[in-house]
Amino acid sequence: MTVIAVLGAGKIGEALLAGLLQGGRSAEELLFTERHPERSAELTARYGVAGVEVTEAAKRADVLVVAVKPQDIEPVLAELAPLVGPNSLVVSLCAGLPTSLYERRLPDGVPVVRVMPNTPMVVGEAMSAVSPGKHATADHVALVTEMLATVGQVVEVPEAQQDAVTALSGSGPAYFFYLVEAMIDAGILLGLPRAVAEKLIIQSAVGAAKMLAETNEHPVILREAVTSPAGTTINAIRELEKHGVRAALLAAIEAARDRSVELGKAHE
């Protein structure tokens, strides 16, 4: 039995616990740590999983999933350091923290896998990118991939690409929320009631996302299929091009990547 402990069962940690249970793991195979006793009791009542101290989690679990905020990492590493060894596996979900930080603070040989997930994990639709640290093997990556597949899709990337991943899929949901918000405003401008505009756009987003995911067609092909000669869509596309929306997206995502690089430098 592989025991998995989630250290910091906040939004992401709780979503992973729920996914692991749904994916077939029993409550006995799982542990979590939380700072607030009320939150801990609430999670145990909801999932039947035991809440323990970080030290106990480190002693009992084979896999330690770190899901605290990046700024809370230091005390967690200090508690883990005397208790983990090469037979443990540390999985970091913390945005921007390199595997080298864990490798420096933990005993030599502890395998670390870094993951960049995103918020749709709370509805089982995360996009997660995994990168092995210097002591992690293909088996470690396979185990982490299988764990994360219970809450969405998973890809493996070299750690050097994690800043690009952060900018693309880490922040990605925010770009879609922003677009949806702007399109709802457009509906208001055209005189639609807010509730109707919201429903029209959210369902269009869900439908478009499902078509992208399920038809395997390139987005250009899907867009061309609704862009008829002298029709309405091409008039909208002309405005999007005129206002530089494509260039704005390229620049925005590049700026997010640059900020991720900058934040990462603090941990070198």
Residue 54 DSSP symbol:
H
Exactly one of 33, 131, 150, 162 binds ligand NAP (CB under 6 A); that residue is 33
Among 70, 124, 187, 264, binds ligand NAP (CB under 6 A): 70
Print the binding letters for residues 110-139 with ligand NAP: x by CB under 6 A, - otherwise. ------xxxx--------------------
Q: In the complex, what is the shortest distance from the CB of residue 226 to ligand NAP, in angstroms, rounded to a whole number? A: 31
Using the 8-state DSSP alphabet, how is residue 26 labeled? -
Q: Which of 30, 43, 61, 67 binds ligand NAP (CB under 6 A)?
A: 67
CA nearest to 113, candidates 154, 173, 53: 154
Given candidates 95, 110, 201, 256, which one binds ligand NAP under the rule CB under 6 A? Answer: 95
Tell me the residue number closest to ligand NAP, measured at CB.
Answer: 10
Residues 167-196 that bind ligand NAP (CB under 6 A): 170
Which listed residue (6, 13, 159, 256) binds ligand NAP by CB under 6 A?
13
Determine the interface stretch with ligand NAP among 8-16, 140-148, 185-193, 255-263 (rule: CB under 6 A). 8-16
Question: In degrees, to the nearest 5, what angle opens at C-alpha 25 toward C-alphas 121 and 172?
Answer: 10
How near is the Cβ of 167 to ligand NAP at its closest, in Å? 12
Span of 10-18, 135-143, 180-188, 194-202 interacting with ligand NAP by CB under 6 A: 10-18
Q: Which amino acid is at 243?
A: H
Q: Which of 130, 114, 110 is nearest to 267 (CA)?
A: 114
CB of 175 to ligand NAP, least distance (A): 13
**Run of H or E including 60:** helix 54-60
What CA–CA distances, in Å, run from 149 to 27, 135, 143, 152, 211? 18, 22, 10, 5, 21
In sequence order, what are the residues at sequence separation of 6 or more whose Cβ sits closer than 8 angstroms to the Cβ of residue 2? 29, 62, 63, 143
Identify which of residues 116 and 143 has a Cβ nearer to ligand NAP in the complex. 116
- Shortest Cβ 191–ligand NAP spacing (Å): 35
CA–CA distance from 188 to each of 28, 180, 181, 207 (Å)?
A: 51, 12, 11, 21
94 binds ligand NAP per the rule CB under 6 A: yes
User: What is the spatial distance between Cα 54 and Cα 198, in angstroms, rounded to a whole number?
Assistant: 43
Strands 126-132 and 152-156: parallel
- Verify binding: residue 12, ligand NAP, rule CB under 6 A: yes
By CB under 6 A, residue 44 contacts ligand NAP = no
Rg (Cα) of the chain, in Å, rounded? 21
Q: Is 124 left (phi over 0), alpha (psi -120 to 50) or beta?
A: left
Among 4, 5, 20, 54, binds ligand NAP (CB under 6 A): 54
Q: Check if the beta carbon of residue 51 is closer than 8 Å to that of residue 81.
A: no
Chain residues that interact with ligand NAP, rule: CB under 6 A: 7-8, 10-13, 33-36, 54, 67-70, 72, 75-76, 93-95, 116-119, 170
